[in-house]
Structure 1
Amino acid sequence: MKDGHAILGLKYPIIQGGMGNISNAQLTSAVSKAGGLGTVGAGTMHPDEVEKIIVDTKERTNKPFSLNIPITVTEYTEELLDLAIRHKIAAVTLSAGNPSPFIPVLQKNGIKVIVIVASVRHAVKAAEAGADLLVAEGFEAAGINSSLELTTFSLIPQIVDKVEIPVYAAGGIADGRGLAAALMLGASGVQMGTRFIAVKEAPFHESYKQKLLKADDLGTVILGRSLGRVRRVLKGKYVESIMDLEQKGMTVGDFAEKTSEQHHIQGAVHGDFENGYVNGGQASGLIVNIPSVEQLMEGMMEQALRQIKQVSGYLQKSID
């Protein structure tokens, strides 16, 4: 196991996932202040909007945080890279595209590079390109997902066996048991997105948070599989309408419009599930309360330690 959070200067091995256009300074700074790595997600936002969030985050905390740049999603990759360098951001998380051309320039400017991967092949390529850390994301995760549909439990150990750099596990993790499991699989820590929606500091609509609290193991659904545009979301009326359209046969363009960030904001920020949707991972069924970020992370660490000790004792008895 590699000490990834030491590379990033963190207290806890916990990273906040990028949240696209609903990203904000309140949550990002809260995660970083509590000892994890907060993340500003660029999504499809104009660099001016992203810069406002970065400046606001820096005013709220002097702890390290990351900027997530979804390479093939945004049309502003170069401008966002410049923002990261100019604001001396501690880390940049590269996703949704080939990270190789961007890693050297970021590292030359003292920025750690995290690459999100969803297969062993992509993990090996990212490591060979010089990434400092990887986030391996299983199919359980919320939002835009890999069409390979590999699950976290099987993906993490296979990637850990093939690379020498720290690997963080993402997808289906919401508590200390998930953290302990990730560590046992060889990961250096975890990245969470859905769980950080239902915290006090997250400025999302209360209906979104309550939707997560009410979700069960079947609370999420996949959209876009027939179009090669996999996205995991929470069930709802608007989502049902997209599913009906997809079943009847819709174009990639129509799907992109129906799942645009505007509709995402409509659900997540305004709580309008008639005209918008919200992302949600399979970890939704594990969320039963709305703590502060600090309470969540401290509780996770304590639960993970208890779980590991309990299992260690059980195994020791079996050996003895």
Structure 2
Amino acid sequence: MNKVCELLEVEVPIIEGGLAFVGNGLLAAAVSEGGGFGQVGSAGRTVENFEKQILLAAEATAKPFGVNIPISQHTDFTPYIEVIRKHRDLIQAVSLGAGNPKQLIPVIKDMGLKVLVLTSTAFHSAKAESLGADMIICEGYEAGGSNGPSELSTLTLVPQVKKTVSIPVVAAGGIVDGRSMASAMLLGADGVQMGTRFVATKECEAHDNFKDAILKARDDSTEILTRMLKGPIRVLKNDYSKKVQEAEKENPTLENILPMVRGKYNGLAMFDGELSKGFMSCGQVASLIDEVESAEVIVRRMATEAKEILNSPIKI
């Protein structure tokens, strides 16, 4: 049996990324209903709304789902951990990223939950495994949103992580369909995680303006912000991202740039639809997305396509 499916008790090894501001409960449920593993995101949510989305997911599906905690994006993540503890019987796993997971891994495992750790290098993957992580989600530079400063591509990262750790490895960044899923698994991944593809779905609560921007994207429609802060963010190009780029050139200091890329500006564009007033986290695969569909349909089609490709004779 596939290692990811066995660990998460799902049908197919397709995971939904945390999706700051727009990783809602109904989307998580739809991914899980498709046989994958949906996740409720905590970034950009109040503690009360985070709890509400967990309950919405549990009402909409009886299948396993999880939650995501981006550590550094919470001033105090303790209340979110307490919500997880309160509803641990509804949750299968917790994914951790954007910070050092050392403090949280034992806390979550003591709740009886699986721990998935997002990494961007083989070194940090090995460290996470030594701390007790049950699964590594290694994310390449192609991914939308926050990326690792090493800027390793999924193509190079996956086999290096797979060589380094013994726990299941999930590939993220550049995954959008059955072909890319099959490619990742040929590199050694046990499964895949997607973010941008799940934004352009009927169940995602992202604003229609953001979804339309994804549908209109070309292959060169994303760019990197805040590289000088050693915390690169991949976003869709727009007037606001241009403003940030210009500010980075004129005065590349933490004090000048950090206020421009705070989460509220992410939320203004992605959730409120005010695209000119904020930035939109988005992966390089956006140009391959042509339709807003049900997440459940996407998961099932991807799994079928990937299986057919992996079972077909390789022509050289």
Q: TM-score range by the shorter chain?
A: over 0.9
Residue of structure 2 in register with 1:276 after alignment: 278
Q: 2:128 aligns with which of 118, 126, 129?
A: 126
Equivalent pair of 2:240/2:279 in contact (CA under 8 Å): yes
Report SS of the residue matched to 2:31.
helix
Is the partner of 1:69 in helix, strand or coil?
Answer: strand
Q: 1:254 to 1:54 in 2, by over 3 A?
A: farther
**C-alpha deviation, 1:48, in angstroms:** 2.3
Does the CA contact (< 8 Å) of 1:176 and 1:301 recur in 2?
Answer: yes
1:20 alignment partner, SS class: coil
Alignment partner of 1:19 is 2:19: yes
Aligned position for 1:228 = 230
The aligned residue for residue 66 of structure 1 is: 66
TM-score normalized by the length of structure 1: 0.93
1:72 alignment partner, SS class: helix
Q: 1:13-52 counterparts in 2 under 5 A?
A: 13-52=13-52
Cα-Cα RMSD: 1.6
Gaps of 5+ in 1: 316-320
- Corresponding residue for 1:113? 115
Query: Do the aligned residues in 2 keep the contact of 1:169 with 1:182 (CA within 8 Å)?
Result: yes
Match of 2:99 in 1: 97
Q: Note the C-alpha offset of 1:193.
A: 0.2
Instruction: Give 2:201's match in structure 1, choosing from 183, 199, 202.
Output: 199
Q: 1:309 and 1:7 mapped to 2: Cα distance?
A: 23
Amino acid at match of 2:256: D
> Is the contact made by 2:32 and 2:296 (CA closer than 8 Å) also made in structure 1?
no
Deviation at 1:313, TM superposition (A): 4.1
SS at match of 2:72: coil
Aligned counterparts of 1:268 and 1:73: Cα–Cα separation in 2: 17
Mapping for residues 167-186 of structure 1, pairs under 5 Å: 167-186=169-188
Decide whether the 8 Å contact of 1:180 with 1:305 is kept in 2.
yes
| Contact preservation (8 Å) 1:21, 1:41 | yes
CA distance in 2, matches of 1:286, 1:249: 35
Does the residue aligned with 1:277 lie in a helix, a strand or coil?
coil
Structure 2: which 5+ runs fail to align?
A: none
With over 3 angstroms needed to count, the CA separation of the structure-2 counterparts of 1:32 and 1:253, relative to structure 1, is farther
Tell me the TM-score normalised to structure 2 length. 0.94
Moved more, 263-272 or 44-53: 44-53
Contact 1:106–1:112 (CA under 8 A) maintained in structure 2:
yes
Shift of 1:258: 1.5
For residue 298 of structure 1, what is the aligned residue in structure 2? 300
User: 1:245-271, CA deviations, whole angstroms, 9 ceiling, x for partnerless residues?
Assistant: 111114323323222222112111222
Aligned counterparts of 1:260 and 1:75: Cα–Cα separation in 2: 12
**1: CA distance, partners of 2:255 / 2:93:** 33
Classify the secondary structure of the residue corresponding to 2:116: strand
Q: In structure 2, what is the equivalent of residue 318 of structure 1?
A: none
Which deviations, in whole Å up to 9, do the C-alpha atoms of 1:35-80 show, x marking residues without a partner?
1111111115332231122222222222221111112221222222
Structure 1 residue 2: deviation in Å? 5.6
In the alignment, the residues of structure 2 paired with residue 177 and residue 245 of structure 1 have an alpha-carbon distance, to the nearest angstrom, of: 38
- How far, CA to CA, are the matches of 1:155 and 1:2 in structure 2? 21
SS at match of 1:191: strand
- 8 A Cα contact 1:223 1:243, kept in partner: yes
How far apart in 1 are the matches of 2:295 and 2:46? 28
Secondary structure of the residue that 1:21 maps to in structure 2? coil
Contact 1:69–1:93 under 8 Å retained in 2: yes
Helix, strand or coil: the match of 2:15?
A: strand
Q: Please give the per-residue CA displacement for 1:270-298, whole angstroms capped at 9, x wherever unaligned.
A: 22221122111011122122221122112
User: CA shift at 1:152, angstroms?
Assistant: 0.3
Distance apart, 1:180 and its partner CA: 0.2
**Is 85-94 or 99-108 further displaced after alignment?**
99-108
The whole-number CA distance in structure 2 between the counterparts of 1:105 and 1:269 is 31
In the alignment, structure 1 residue 211 sits paired with structure 2 residue 213? yes
Counterpart of 1:149 in 2: which secondary structure? Answer: coil
Distance in 2, matches of 1:253 and 1:4, equals 42
Checking the alignment, whether the CA contact within 8 Å between 2:23 and 2:204 is kept in structure 1 is: no
Work out the CA distance in 2 between the residues paired with 1:152 and 1:62.
32
SS of residue matched to 1:232: strand
Q: 2:261 — aligned with what?
A: 259
Are residues 163 and 269 of structure 1, via their aligned partners in 2, closer, same or farther at CA, if it must alter by over 3 Å? Answer: same
* Shift of residue 141, structure 1, vs aligned partner: 0.6
Tell me the residue number matched to 1:314.
Answer: 315
Q: Any idea what SS the aligned residue of 2:107 has?
A: helix
Q: Percent identity?
A: 38
Deviates more, 1:179-188 or 1:281-290: 281-290
SS of alignment partner, residue 168 of structure 1: strand
Three-state SS of the structure 2 residue aligned to 1:150 is coil
